Structure 1
């Protein structure tokens, strides 16, 4: 009798354990959680654990003494950051580039997706979609080389055309008045196709009966776009907009560095290239970490504000 009790008891306790909703849900989707382990490990190792190094923003960090042996300086690095006129200029450049990218770059894939959706020839639609998507796979070094072939002063395509028209050659990549337009424009050309695919996928989820009903009511294609397509895209637009707002000051190091030179640096230098120059080349780790903390805080604040406004206006948000 005792033997029977000892063999039955573990089974009962195991059954009761899986009566807990969370554990039952976890066991039911165990294969999905198993597949997500590499992604979770990536974020833990490369996103969360490095956050411990933020403390050096409040230290005079010495690489030989380490975090535990470096002296604490409080907010001195942040005070130094806002006291430098050079930092104010670079912050202005970053804000302007981020604003232009948001103003012109964010709507570009939405407009491209709406235009592609109106194409009747599937073959032509796929060709155009592939053509605008392919630049996404190019590195910024290659894009820098292509831009040199287009905008270069000696061998650039545009300057050859200007020669034929009898106009003076211009050094676009060395002129402060052109560098911001080039940075934003090349970013749109490279990444527009990626966003277009996301919006096209959202458009395919719209039920065809809505368009048929609108067509019966006499609505034109433009009216159908305004009344059906764009409202259906609003949740996707909202999520992607909030994600971009969260990275407002992260314009991209490679995107700027390949175009930067001594002639356009005053207008094209951003926080990312500034951090690289002072942090890695001049080894001012504490100061550049403080700048990184500042960027993260600004992104977090903008994300919360944008999410709150989105909740109030559309009812959609990230959280």
Structure 2
């Protein structure tokens, strides 16, 4: 039986044999976690509340439960499935909506590690010698994450990359990192619940779209998006609270703060000059010039929310190697998609 220290060292290479895992929740994230942990050799019990006959997802839940049982999981769909934790458990994987259940509370009291979807997915990246796991481009906040993620996807496609959107939209994160054909980048849209308890994630670049409006728990969750960032912490310059999260983040040496503004950008920022979206953060001559990305006319709107999200998406994509021309083409493609 592995102890907590052994479990905390687990990654894609394992060893997962003999590790007893309880997955709390049976949605997209829970199903993907159960499926892939079984594939790695873990002993998995999936627990969730049963859906009623009048729920349109009930048939889908039953079908997934049957499939996982065939694959070797123990599936418990019971009214009290999340009320207690079994005695012999080495690790709990908690879906975001089930982090505050008696089962998870008991795990913490007993010293059983509790991971969420994001923590598990980060640990399951393929980091074996010779492998190049896809960098993560993370976008967090209270609204707009999916829209920004889809914009980043279009820009990276225009840059000739093979990206995938995961998290709130697109693929479940665990499924994305376990894909046998690696992606060039994962554009990861996350809400506060998904970020809660994240410790290991080290995104290439991360953006928080807005502050937590006084909610301490939300502030801590969104701060996790910036922790251990490798290249760029992107923030909306008008939001002083988010800028403070960037200042306090423990990042990889060399990572930069990149501000987004609707006005004239300073060095290290993206912004708007007359009717042009420009960047002064990634081009080599940023101290003396700006690179044009697109125009408000091409964007099709001067709506402040849309322009801000387009600039944030541009910054994330530029951090992943996209060119200004790819930004222009990607934003145009997104508009006409």
Please, what TM-score do these two structures have when normalized by structure 1? 0.20
Structure ranking higher in helix proportion: 1
Name the larger-Rg structure: 1
Question: Larger RCO: Structure 1 or Structure 2 (Cα < 8 Å, ≥ 6 residues apart)?
Answer: 1
| TM value normalised by structure 2 | 0.19
